[in-house]
Amino acid sequence: MIKRLSMLGTVLAALAFATGAAFGEQIRLGAMPLSTWWYVGAGGIAKLVQPHLPAGTTIEVLARGGGIANPVVTNENKTQIAFSNVATAAWAWMGDPDIYKGKQHQDIRGLVGGITPLWVVAMLREDYIKKTGNDTLEKALADKNLRLIMKPAGSSVPPVARVVLETNGTSLDIFKKEGRLIQVDAAQTTTMLRDGRADLYFESAPRGHPAVTELTLTVDMRFLDYPQKSLDALAKIGAKPVSMPPIFKGQNGPTKTVDLGTSIIAHKSLPDDIAYLVTKLIVENKAELVKSHQAFSAFVPEEAWKPENNGIPLHPGAERYYRERGWLKAVTQ
């Protein structure tokens, strides 16, 4: 009897593996820390996907990671699905020499691209501008007393800030050495800026970003244009120069900045059926996702398959879904 039960268990496990739905399997969804839109958005995706997963399979949102880190941990299969920047996914795949030290991360695949623009912006406290008269990035970065605040390494913000600083005669290393650089999670920045402990803030700012929205409603901030020399240098590393529409308090019109894009990626071993399911649910339920976070309102489902909106090859499960919709037909036949 025991031998029969053992054989039955082996057969069931084999069937589960073959369908990509192992009993008790946990899918980890990489996001970012609390108070970021990726964490909120990931919660919306998990809520949407969970009821449709095979019995015993769960999806867990991780409150850590970032634009630089998520392609790495997904490549290592520590997260099976994750939010990513289109730019950072491409940088990781190619092994960008500056950001990924030449190491290629080619076990990642695209699921859904073009989720929303991801602008990386620079803001100055109005109190600082009034006190110093420094009302542009060039002027502020020339100030030897300027205090800078941003997310820690792992976010896509520091690489952008690094280029901006270096094209304006300074560097992150100088700010660190002189004790003028603060790197904390987004949840802490509002308090520090409100208390006057920092002056210049670099942040990723999609529409409806919780921390940026709270900050601009409680602290007088001014969004600054990136100098053209910074935009030119950023374009060379895959950060797309754009004119960001005025969507936050503190923008006195469109802001010249860069867009890194937002996508959903997966490890190549994610079962095809699961990849197909997640892709289908995200693409076909935009209205439901917008309820979880308004950043999804910029999502154009019909363009989710496009190479420029993913930056890396599609997962076979996602590709199957897009073929069924007829969207891939024009470029594959």
Q: Which domains does the chain have, with CATH numbers?
A: 20-116+261-332 (3.40.190.10), 119-259 (3.40.190.10)
d(CA 234, CA 267): 28
In order, the DSSP letters of 227-265 are PHHHHHHHHTTTPEEEEE---STT-SS-EEEEE---EEE
In order, the DSSP letters of 80-138 are SEEEE-HHHHHHHHHT-TTTSTT----SEEEEE------EEEEEEEHHHHHHH---SHH
List, as own/partner pairs, every contact residues 239-244 make where C-beta atoms lie below 8 angstroms and the sequence separation is at least 24, other chains included.
239/87, 239/120, 239/160, 239/163, 240/87, 242/117, 242/119, 244/117, 244/119, 244/121, 244/205
The token duo for 135 is 């009302």
Angle at the Cα of 55 from the Cα atoms of 109 and 325, rounded to 5 degrees: 45
Residue type, 179: G
According to the model, what pLDDT value does residue 6 have? 40
Q: Are 163 and 172 in contact (CB under 8 A)?
A: no
Q: Are 230 and 258 in contact (CB under 8 A)?
A: no
Pairing of strands 148-150, 26-30: unpaired
Residue type, 171: S
Q: Of the candidates 300, 306, 311, which has an alpha carbon nearest to the alpha carbon of residue 322? A: 306
**DSSP H/E element including 211:** helix 210-218
Can you say how many angstroms the Cα of residue 34 is from the centroid of all Cα atoms in its chain? 14
Q: How many other CB atoms sit within 10 Å of the CB of residue 19?
A: 13
According to the model, what pLDDT value does residue 98 have? 79
Predicted confidence pLDDT, tens digits, the chain (333 residues): 434 434 333 333 333 333 344 435 899 999 999 878 899 999 999 999 999 999 999 999 999 999 999 999 999 999 999 999 999 999 999 998 878 999 999 999 999 999 999 999 999 999 999 999 999 999 999 999 999 999 988 888 999 999 999 999 999 999 999 999 999 988 789 999 999 999 999 999 988 888 899 999 999 999 999 999 999 999 888 889 999 999 999 999 999 999 999 999 999 999 999 999 999 999 999 999 999 998 899 999 999 999 989 999 999 999 999 999 999 874 443
Question: pTM value?
Answer: 0.79
Q: Are 125 and 220 in contact (CB under 8 A)?
A: yes
d(CA 68, CA 168): 23
Question: In degrees to the nearest 10, what's the CA dihedral of 322, 46, 188, 119?
Answer: 10
CA distances from 10 to 6, 103, 106 (A): 6, 39, 32
Q: Of the candidates 210, 126, 201, which has an alpha carbon nearest to the alpha carbon of residue 158? A: 201
